[in-house]
Amino acid sequence: MARPRISGDAWTRTLIALVVVGAALVSIVVISGVAIALADDASETSRLVFTSVLPLLGTWVGTVLAFYFARENLEAATTSTLALSGRETTTPVTKVMIPEADFVAYDLGPAETVDAVKLSTVREKMREIDPPSRRLPIRDASRAVLYVIHDSTLSAFADKQGTTIDEVEAQTVGDFIADPEFKALIEANGYIAENATVAEARGVMASIEYCNDVFVTSTGKRDERAIGWLTNTLLAGVQ
């Protein structure tokens, strides 16, 4: 099997590291041996060697090793930072999204209105998911996403009313969206086309206040069927 070629710069750094570390080890042995052999008080000289010479040589070796690995560490850190910021991620969303077949949503029937949906029904649907989900999209009859209700948003809604989340379950989505503050929260979703990249998905999410969910549709329009789903936690984990 052919040995991989090493670039000139990498070979130089490898050679320097080997020479310096090797020279340091030889120096330790030679200096320590000579000093102890010529000393009148071998025990005292040994102590002085180990307290003065070894730290100096250790610092020398540490500096060389830091130089040897600094470039690789910097490149790795730069790559990770660019990936997390979305500047370098050209991965298609279709490769990382949750496909429509795999995400659970509450789908309205042909004659059903979203205002009439009980919040208890929404929470029951959340509990059907294994593992349990803390967010649930609500889709119309054409499977376009209207809202995404998060468990934390329901808790905040209960707190605002001075009641418990169990008591809130008796209300409907219509009661929920009657409050402009909470309507804005569950409408804060992004939409992108199926040919978009992860970087573009991150950009859409960042551009919408309180957005934690981006849905993939055929051309990126809100009223189209959602064929994929990108959550904030999913995007955070994509490199």
CA distances from 186 to 13, 42, 120, 150, 213 (A): 55, 79, 17, 8, 10
Q: Which residues of the chain have pLDDT under 70?
A: 1-13, 36, 39-42, 45-46, 49, 52-54, 56-57, 60-61, 64-89, 131-133, 239
Task: State residue 53's pLDDT score.
Answer: 67
Interval 86-144: pLDDT, tens = 444 588 999 999 999 998 899 999 889 999 999 999 988 888 877 666 899 999 999 99
